[in-house]
Amino acid sequence: MLLQAPASALRHGEIVAFPTETVYGLGANALIETAVQQIFALKGRPQDNPLIVHLADKEKLDQLVKNIPPEFYRLYEDFCPGPLTFVLEKTDLIPDQVSAGLNTVAVRFPDQKICQLLLRLADVPVVAPSANISGRPSATRASHVLDDFKDRIPFIIDDGATELGVESTVIDLTGSMPRILRPGVITADEIRAVSGIEVLSYKDGLEEGDLKRPASPGLKYRHYAPDARVIQVCSKDGKSLEAAVLSELDQLSDQKAGLFINEKSWDKLRLQTVIAEREIIKYLFAAENPDEAAAHELYAALRALDAAGVDVILAEAIPGAEAYMNRLDKACASENMEKEEVKKILFVCTGNTCRSPMAAALFNSYAEEKQQASKIKWKALSAGLHTMDGLAASQSAVSVLCESGIDISGHSSVQLTEELLAEADIVATMTRSQRDILRGFLPALESKIKTLSEWADERGRESAGDVPDPYAQPEAVYRETRNHLQALIESLWQQINSQPGD
C-alpha cells in the first residue's frame, strides 16, 4: 500500500504534504514538538498563529479537547467529514506550540479519500497548515507545494487539484454563541438552515467589533498574496465587467497585465482590438457557478500569473461569494494599505556558511515575532567577504539553529558585492577586521558599516568585541555562537528600533 511509508513517516515525526478537500496541507504529528516546530520553520510562520489538528473521525477526540458543547455533535453529524474546523477547549495533551499558547485548539475532519486513509494509517492527530510559505497563495495542486518547498520535505502526496480551493470554515464553539472566525464554503446561513443552530457570521463579528473573544490569530496577517499587485474588477453602476477591465487596462498601459475572469466575459473581451494588440496573460474560470469555479481556481491563478511575470493582476470580484471574496480581499490587502517601509540589514562574515547565515536567520525569526505592530519592517540578508556562491551552511550551524526551530538547510552562500552593500541600510560584520576591510573598500559607506557588537552596544563603542568563527569546531561551540548572536541581535533590535529621544 503506497500510503504506508508517508503514514509511518508522519507518525514518527517527519513532514508529509497531503491533499484535503480544501487545499493541500503540510502535515506533522501534533504530539511531537520538534515536528510541529519544523512546520513553523518551513513555512516561516509567526509563532503566535495556531495550527489546526486533523483527525479521521471523532473517535479519539476526547483525548484532545474537553467540555465539548452539544452544538459540536449536531454540526459533526451534519457536516463532517467536511470543510469545517471547530475551535474547542484543549486538554494538556496538545502541545502549547500547536495552540500558540491559547487554551483552545482547532480540530477538523477532512473529507478527502487519500487524506482520510493517511490519517487512519498514521493513527495520530496531525497538524496541517496550508502547504505554502506564509503569506503566499495557498497550495491547491501538489506542484504548488513543490514550488514552495522543493526538496525540503520528504513526502508530497499528489492527488490532483483539490475539490474546493479555499480553506475550511473556522467556527469557534467556546463562547456563548458559535461564531465563524474564518469564512469558508460552509456559511453561517447554511449552518442555520441545516443544523438549526444560531451562529454569528464572520461579518457579524466584525461589525460588532467583538474583541472579547479571541478571533483567529491568523486573520491579522497579510495572506494569499502573489508578488504582482492585485486589483479587483467588477460590473457596477451599469458598467459591464468587460468595460471595467478595459478602463483599468487603459490606466495600466505600461504594465504587463494578467486577467482572472470568467470565460464568457473573456469571449467578449478578446474581440476588442486593445486586447488583441497587448500582451495579456489570462487565467479563466467557468462562467457557470462562478462562485465555486473562481474559488476553485483562485490560488492556482495567482501563482500561475506570478510565474508568467505579470506586474498586475485584474481579478473579477464576485459579490456574495463570501469565502472567495475574503481571500481576494487579502490578496489585494497591500494595495489598500499604506506601503510598508522595509529596511535591510546585511550580516557579513568570511565564508557565509556559519556566522552570517546564522545571524540573518536568527534576526529574521526575532523580527517576525517582534515587528507585527511596527510600521518599519526589517529584513536580514547575509554575505561572505571571501566565498563562492552556492555553498550550503555548515552542518553544525544547521543543527544548532534547528534546535531553535529555525531551518537554514536551504541556505546557499553569497559573495559580497558592492550592490549588496549599497542596498543595505545597515551592515553588521562579525569582526573588527572585517569592518575595516569593508570601510577601506567603500569609505563613503563608512557610517553604516559596524561590527554586530557595536550595533548592539547602547553607546556604539568601537571596541565592543568580535564574534569568533566557530568553523570546524565541535557543535557545542556553534551553540555558544548561536547564543552569543541571539543576545547581540536582541540588543541590536533595541538600538535600531528605538526612536531618537526614547
**Residue 20 partner contact from ligand TXA, Mg ion, none using kind-dependent CB cut-offs of 5 to 8 Å:** ligand TXA
Binding status of residue 353 toward ligand TXA by CB under 6 A? no
- Pick 108 or 282: Cβ nearer ligand TXA: 108
**CB of 130 or CB of 364, closer to Mg ion:** 130
Quick one: which of 29, 97, 130, 413 contacts Mg ion (CB under 5 A)? Answer: 130
Distance in angstroms (rounded) separating the CA atoms of residues 38 and 32: 10
- Sites for ligand TXA among residues 109-128 (CB under 6 A): 110, 128
The partner in contact with residue 142, picked from ligand TXA, Mg ion, none with C-beta cut-offs of 5 to 8 angstroms by kind, is: none
Instruction: Please work out the total of residues on this chain that contact Mg ion, with binding judged by CB under 5 A.
Output: 1
Distance, in Å, from the CA atom of 75 to the CA atom of 396, rounded to the nearest integer, reads: 49
d(CA 320, CA 235): 14
Closest by CA to 27, choosing from 83, 90, 110, 85, is: 110
Residue 219 beta carbon to ligand TXA: minimum distance, rounded to whole angstroms: 6
**Quick check: 139 binds ligand TXA (CB under 6 A)?**
no
Residue type, 91: T
95 binds, among ligand TXA, Mg ion, none (CB under 5 to 8 A by kind): none
Q: Minimum distance from CB of 310 to Mg ion (Å)?
A: 23
Least distance to ligand TXA, CB of residue 214, Å: 6
129 binds ligand TXA (CB under 6 A): yes
Residues 7/1, Cβ–Cβ less than 8 Å: no
Our finding on whether 52 is near ligand TXA (CB under 6 A) is yes
Quick one: which segment of 51-59, 126-134, 184-192, 378-386 binds Mg ion (CB under 5 A)? 126-134
Is residue 187 a contact point for ligand TXA (CB under 6 A)?
Answer: no
Grid cell listed for 49: 498563529
String of b and e for 208-235 (b: at least 16 CB within 10 Å)? eeeeebebbebeebebbbbebbbbbbeb
Place of cell 471595467: 244
**Residue 216 is a binding residue for ligand TXA (CB under 6 A):** yes
29 counts as binding ligand TXA under rule CB under 6 A: no
Cell of 253: 498601459
Does position 217 interact with ligand TXA (CB under 6 A)? The reply is yes
Task: Determine the residue type at 7.
Answer: A
d(CA 108, CA 189): 20
Strand 126-127, strand 52-54: pairing: antiparallel
Contact status: 218 vs ligand TXA (CB under 6 A): yes
Q: Please enumerate in sequence order all residues whose Cβ is within 8 A of that of 86, keeping only pairs 6 or more positions apart, or say none.
A: 72, 75, 106, 107, 108, 171, 173
* Residue nearest to Mg ion according to CB distances in the complex: 130
* From candidates 31, 80, 102, 421, binder to ligand TXA by CB under 6 A: 102
